[in-house]
């Protein structure tokens, strides 16, 4: 089974209208794309506007809420990227405006509208469900640590985003972006295409300018994959740099939250807020001394000059010719900006990671989710994976109209985290991905980073057969727990393609520097057109 099949990617189920790949014979309507004053606005832009009195937090929040109302659930091909709005957003924004007037801004995120994924807990009037109807009404006892940090920084949480249900760890034949609560999220570049997963709604909403920035989560590809599919910057931090407490888990070995933004500068600004040591997440103890940084200080338009960058062609190139062509162009840009390319620079043992990783995820998902359910106390009667399986069986029409729960059943069959099979798989995953993987190739060639295509252009949404994946480069960084960042690399038939920068543990400053320099040299990012289907007359570009 392809690893992308189970980790790739909102209310009631929304029916999906099938769109022909080469035409629009049914005349299906996309959302009306009217001009938007804040299109592609950055954190720096909006902060300048608030300082000058052009904008207020309340006014920005009103504009983004109106944009969501106009773009997310209209037409016969709705985007369905936002699963729920925060009923307190306008009041929070108004209070922040008053605070700015009386005391000044708390920092770069003061008054900035943000969306967060619906597996990130908020102890307010919003739900936290991982897209599952089973968790509707189950109330977490406190905000997730990253939510606490966002609120403390003055961000306005607009609402929660749709996602691949249970972060796409439910079925081997799932369609990324579908959840029982939110329906099928779509890609704003072509509405019959997958937004990818599992942070599907965060990617689609940010690309569609429904927020300034968003927060996603990743176990393997769930930030970088939807970011690449939606022409975004997506940063999957080193595990331990950003707390996971209050986030519905898959794997304590690999899970992390991270920024999904339209620019590298915004990713750096958001990471500055998200990173922090949390007593409730033991993994963050390792980041002591690495938090409290202003990651925007590492942005350097000349950051590629003298950088040694490896190109791991084996396994991560060759599955899609047009994608490879765009990455070859990217490599030429890097050379022109002074980068030293080591080509090829293969990651040893990359082909051996899938099997032990999958075993680790099955064990850790069972332990993590059952611990999460226990933390909800009397707000839910669910306590075990078996309870979730039973709930889905009892609500097949709404929870399993298109695909099943094979992964839940496989996880249910696993034993505790003391099992020898789990411990062996975990040791193999760490050894093969770290000392005998990324660390080895980077040490051998004295590299600052590796670069590879993030994945092929987004495929068609297929609720009959599920996702169809050609290839991706997310797994080595995911299994090792190391950092990776994707940035727009161009378009194939109008569909986005991303380029991934992959580094060692705690390499976020380096990756941000390199990606910012590449972004400034290319400026590939373009807003989406919300077309019903891709224009197959195009080969590359828009």
Whole-number pLDDT of residue 16: 27
Residue 528 belongs to a domain: no
Residue 537 belongs to a domain: no
Alpha helix segments (H runs only) across 400-459: 406-412, 420-433, 439-445
Compare 156 and 5 and report the one with higher pLDDT: 156
Q: What is the mean pLDDT of residues 429-458?
A: 98
Q: How many helices (H) and strands (E) does the chain have?
A: 19, 13
Backbone angles phi, psi at 416, to 5 degrees: -75, 175
Whole-number pLDDT of residue 125: 98
Q: Which of 324, 363, 368 is nearest to 343 (CA)?
A: 324
Q: Which of 491, 510, 455 is nearest to 339 (CA)?
A: 510
CB 415 within 8 A of CB 428: no
In whole angstroms, what is the distance from residue 203 CA to residue 458 CA?
Answer: 12
For strands 484-492 and 256-261, give the pairing: unpaired
3-state percent breakdown (helix, strand, coil) of the chain, nearest 5 = 40, 15, 50
> What pLDDT digit, counting tens, does each position of 42-73 carry?
999 999 999 999 999 999 999 999 999 999 99
In whole angstroms, what is the distance from residue 20 CA to residue 27 CA?
Answer: 11
Compare 4 and 101 and report the one with higher pLDDT: 101
Checking 15-21 for CB contacts under 8 A at 24+ apart, the result is 16/183, 16/184, 16/461, 16/463, 17/76, 17/77, 18/192, 19/77, 19/191, 19/192, 19/532, 19/533, 20/533, 21/192, 21/460, 21/533, 21/534, 21/536
In whole angstroms, what is the distance from residue 42 CA to residue 213 CA?
Answer: 8
Q: What percent of the chain has pLDDT over 90?
A: 91
For strands 256-261 and 213-218, give the pairing: antiparallel
Q: Which residues are catalytic?
A: 117, 198, 222
Q: What is the mean pLDDT of residues 206-219?
A: 98
Alpha carbons within 13 A on the beta-carbon side of 348: 14
Whole-number pLDDT of residue 29: 66
Residue 404 belongs to a domain: yes
Q: Which of 62, 97, 76, 93 is nearest to 16 (CA)?
A: 76
Cα dihedral 451, 454, 457, 461 in deg (nearest 10): 180
In whole angstroms, what is the distance from residue 436 CA to residue 449 CA?
Answer: 16
CB 176 within 8 A of CB 164: yes
* Structure confidence at residue 34 as a pLDDT band (50, 70, 90): confident
> What pLDDT digit, counting tens, does each position of 237-262 carry?
999 999 999 999 999 999 999 999 99
Of the ranges 12-21, 39-48, 208-217, 460-469, which one carries the lowest mean pLDDT score?
12-21
> What pLDDT digit, counting tens, does each position of 351-368 carry?
999 999 999 999 999 999
Q: Considering the chain, what is the average pLDDT of its residues? A: 94
The pLDDT of residue 21 is above 60 = no
Q: What is the mean pLDDT of residues 523-531?
A: 97
Backbone angles phi, psi at 50, to 5 degrees: -75, -35
Cα→Cα distances 146→276, 292, 391, Å: 8, 14, 30
Q: What is the mean pLDDT of residues 445-472?
A: 97
The pLDDT of residue 22 is above 90 = no
β-partners of residue 171 are: none
Beta carbons within 10 angstroms of residue 332's beta carbon: 11
For strands 156-161 and 113-117, give the pairing: parallel
Residue 78 belongs to a domain: yes
Residue 112 in tokens: 């900035």
CATH number at residue 288: 3.90.1300.10
Backbone angles phi, psi at 488, to 5 degrees: -55, 135
In whole angstroms, what is the distance from residue 434 CA to residue 425 CA?
Answer: 14
* Structure confidence at residue 290 as a pLDDT band (50, 70, 90): confident
Whole-number pLDDT of residue 289: 85
E strand map for 62-144: 82-85, 113-117
By three-state DSSP, how is residue 486 classified? strand
Q: What is the mean pLDDT of residues 180-195?
A: 98
CA R_g for the chain: 21
Residue 269 in tokens: 């600004």
Q: What is the mean pLDDT of residues 469-486?
A: 98
Residue 256 in tokens: 């992390």
Residue 148 in tokens: 């606490």
Residue 34 belongs to a domain: yes
Residue 92 belongs to a domain: yes
Residue 50 belongs to a domain: yes
Residue 542 belongs to a domain: no
Counted domains in the chain:
1
Residue 518 belongs to what H/E stretch?
helix 508-522
pTM of the predicted model as reported, rounded to 2 decimal places: 0.95
Q: Show the domain range for 484.
A: 4-522
* Structure confidence at residue 33 as a pLDDT band (50, 70, 90): low
> What pLDDT digit, counting tens, does each position of 491-504 carry?
999 999 999 999 99
Of the ranges 9-23, 151-165, 525-539, which one carries the lowest mean pLDDT score?
9-23
E strand map for 111-220: 113-117, 156-161, 178-179, 183-184, 213-218
Angle between the N-to-C axes of helices 508-522 and 264-274, in degrees from 0 to 180, rounded to the nearest 10: 160
In whole angstroms, what is the distance from residue 535 CA to residue 542 CA?
Answer: 9
In whole angstroms, what is the distance from residue 408 CA to residue 49 CA?
Answer: 48
Whole-number pLDDT of residue 15: 28
Whole-number pLDDT of residue 540: 60
Backbone angles phi, psi at 197, to 5 degrees: -150, 175
First-to-last C-alpha distance (Å) of the chain: 34
């Amino acid at each position: 089974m392809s690893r992308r099949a189970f980790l790739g990617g909102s209310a009631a189920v929304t029916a999906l209208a099938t769109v022909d790949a080469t035409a629009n014979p049914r005349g299906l309507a996309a959302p009306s794309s009217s001009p938007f004053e804040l299109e592609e606005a950055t954190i720096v832009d909006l902060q300048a506007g608030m300082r000058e009195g052009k904008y207020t937090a309340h006014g920005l929040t009103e504009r983004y809420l109106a944009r969501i109302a106009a773009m997310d659930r209209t037409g016969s091909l709705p985007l369905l990227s936002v699963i729920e709005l925060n009923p307190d957003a306008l009041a929070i924004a108004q209070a922040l405006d008053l605070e700015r007037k009386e005391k000044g801004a708390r920092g770069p995120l003061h008054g900035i509208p943000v969306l967060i994924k619906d597996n990130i807990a908020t102890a307010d009037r919003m739900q936290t469900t991982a897209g599952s109807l089973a968790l509707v009404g189950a109330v977490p006892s406190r905000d997730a640590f990253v939510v606490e940090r966002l609120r403390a920084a003055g961000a306005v949480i607009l609402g929660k985003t749709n996602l691949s249900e249970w972060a796409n760890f439910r079925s081997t034949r799932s369609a990324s972006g579908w959840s029982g609560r939110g329906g099928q999220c779509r890609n704003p570049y072509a509405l019959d295409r997958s937004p990818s997963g599992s942070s599907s709604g965060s990617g689609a909403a940010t690309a569609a300018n429904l927020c300034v920035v968003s927060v996603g989560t990743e176990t393997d590809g769930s930030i970088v994959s939807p970011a690449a599919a939606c022409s975004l910057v997506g940063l999957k931090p080193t595990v331990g740099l950003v707390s996971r407490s209050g986030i519905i888990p898959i794997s304590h070995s690999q899970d992390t939250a991270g920024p999904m933004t339209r620019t590298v500068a915004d990713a750096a600004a958001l990471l500055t807020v998200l990173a922090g040591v949390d007593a409730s997440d033991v993994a963050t103890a390792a980041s002591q001394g690495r938090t409290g940084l202003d990651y925007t200080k590492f942005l350097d338009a000349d950051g590629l000059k003298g950088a040694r960058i490896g190109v791991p062609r084996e396994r991560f190139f060759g599955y899609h010719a047009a994608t490879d062509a765009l990455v070859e162009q990217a490599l030429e840009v890097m050379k022109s900006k002074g980068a030293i390319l080591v080509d090829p620079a293969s990651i040893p043992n990359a082909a051996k990671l899938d099997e032990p990783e999958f075993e680790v995820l099955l064990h850790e998902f069972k332990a993590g989710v059952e611990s999460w359910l226990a933390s909800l106390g009397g707000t839910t009667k669910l306590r075990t994976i078996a309870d979730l399986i039973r709930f889905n069986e009892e609500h097949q029409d709404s929870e399993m109209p298109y695909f099943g729960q094979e992964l839940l059943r496989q996880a249910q069959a696993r034993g505790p985290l003391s099992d020898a099979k789990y411990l062996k798989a975990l040791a193999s995953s760490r050894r093969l991905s770290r000392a005998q993987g990324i660390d080895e190739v980077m040490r051998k060639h004295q590299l600052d980073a590796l670069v590879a295509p993030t994945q092929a252009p987004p495929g068609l949404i297929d609720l009959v057969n599920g996702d169809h994946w050609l290839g991706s480069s997310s797994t080595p960084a995911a299994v090792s727990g190391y950092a990776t960042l994707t940035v727009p690399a161009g378009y194939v038939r109008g569909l986005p393609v991303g380029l991934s920068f992959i580094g060692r543990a705690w390499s976020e400053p380096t990756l941000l520097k390199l990606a910012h320099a590449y972004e400034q040299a290319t400026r590939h990012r373009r807003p989406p057109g919300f077309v019903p289907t891709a224009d197959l007359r195009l080969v590359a570009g828009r």
